[in-house]
Amino acid sequence: MVTLLTRLKPELCSTIRGADALMIGRAAQGRPWIFREIQHYLDTGELLPPLPLAEVKRLLCAHVRELHGFYGQAKGYRIARKHVSWYLQEHAPDDQFRRTFNAIEDSSEQLEALEAYFENFA
């Protein structure tokens, strides 16, 4: 779960004199937009509002399609499982959907399940 402290870490790093880099680490798992959030904060001193759920859906589905394409049918659906879990961790920390999703063994069924999942939030 991403906490407010996690979102404020760039401020802590900016106070370090002469810092040339910022280590992101696991905070980027399931949150590829974190780099945009950090850059915005460093530029303006303001936090961006949370990413709209429709944008999370768009990014997640595109990411899963790319995983399926890159790794192929036999491997892609398995690798997609952990990525989907990371994306949905802050939206549904103990959700049955993730357990159900992890049982799916077909890439097109995974995408259909994601579409249905996000329709429930609309």
Q: What is the DSSP string of the chain?
A: ---HHHHHHHHHHHTSTT------GGGGTT-TTHHHHHHHHHHHS-PPPPPPHHHHHHHHHHHHHHHHHHH-HHHHHHHHHHHHHHHHTTT-TT-HHHHHHHT---HHHHHHHHHHHHHTT-
pLDDT (0 to 100) of residue 7: 56
pLDDT (0 to 100) of residue 1: 38
- Higher pLDDT: 26 or 64? It is 64
Does 45 score more than 60 pLDDT? yes
pLDDT (0 to 100) of residue 26: 86
Does 9 score more than 70 pLDDT? no
Contact 61, 114 (CB under 8 A): yes
Rounded CA-CA distance 89/66 in Å is: 20
pLDDT (0 to 100) of residue 39: 82
pLDDT (0 to 100) of residue 10: 56
Map out the domains of the chain as residue ranges. 4-44, 53-119
pLDDT (0 to 100) of residue 94: 65
Split at pLDDT 50, 70, 90, the class of 93 is: low
Listed residue (30, 98, 16) closest to 67, CA to CA: 30
Q: How far apart are the first and last CA of the chain?
A: 22
pLDDT digits (tens, 9 = 90+) for 48-71: 898 999 999 999 999 999 999 999
Contact 98, 92 (CB under 8 A): yes
Rounded CA-CA distance 102/93 in Å is: 15
Least trusted range by pLDDT, from 13-22, 28-37, 83-92: 13-22
Contact 41, 11 (CB under 8 A): yes
